[in-house]
Amino acid sequence: MGTVVDAANKEANRSVLTNKKVTVVFVLGGPGSGKGTQCANVVEHFGYTHLSAGDLLRAEIKSGSENGTMIQNMIKDGKIVPSEVTIKLLQRAIEENGNDKFLIDGFPRNEENRAAFELVTGIEPEFVLFFDCSEEEMERRLLSRNQGREDDNIETIRKRFKVYMESSLPVIEYYNSKGKVRKIDATKPAVEVFGAVKALFTPLNSVPTIILSHVSA
């Protein structure tokens, strides 16, 4: 009996080119680095569509689809959802959206995610927006915000930092070696941070976009 990964790989092999041209920017940074705030600013000022891999997975679970049930069961069993499943959701969101500019927030989470995304979609990011923030500052922000999140306690926060450091930093190092990382000092006030972000996105209007390879239905 084939696995979820096998099925996703078979679909990936049936990828065909479409005429849709897209610009993709990966947004990375530790928990509490301000990614969400700055993504909202980019959406408002530059017309990007903000895609979060985690939000797409949660939406698929809520939809009650067979795929959503599979994702929910894997999470309940403590299994990691295969990269191909998450990528398929991202790809579908891109295909079904009328926009051609996307921020992909919090993805790729590790090197396997990165390699699978490029293989399946044929997309390399225009650049990687990396919010560089000290662990002490991220910890302070997470503990001070009042959002009722159960994971905003010191023990869980430090575990999240550890996972982030071990899994996401190799992705940043990979793209840095290709000259694609744009590092932002995220310890500064949000207004100053957006000033630096704004300077990066303003020239993109004249940058050629890339063609999206998508999974056929």
The binding site for ATP consists of 32-37, 145, 188
Q: What does the DSSP assignment read for 138-173?
A: HHHHHHH--S--TT-SHHHHHHHHHHHHHHTHHHHH
- CA atoms of 62 and 73, how far apart (whole Å): 13
Q: Distances in Å between the alpha carbon of 53 and those of 87, 93, 144, 155, 206?
A: 8, 10, 25, 24, 28
Residues 6+ apart with CB under 8 A from 192: none
Residues at the binding site for CMP are 113
Residue 168 CB neighbours (<10 A): 22
Residues at the binding site are 32-37, 58, 79-81, 106-109, 113, 145, 149, 160, 188
Residues at the binding site for a ribonucleoside 5'-phosphate are 58, 79-81, 106-109, 149, 160
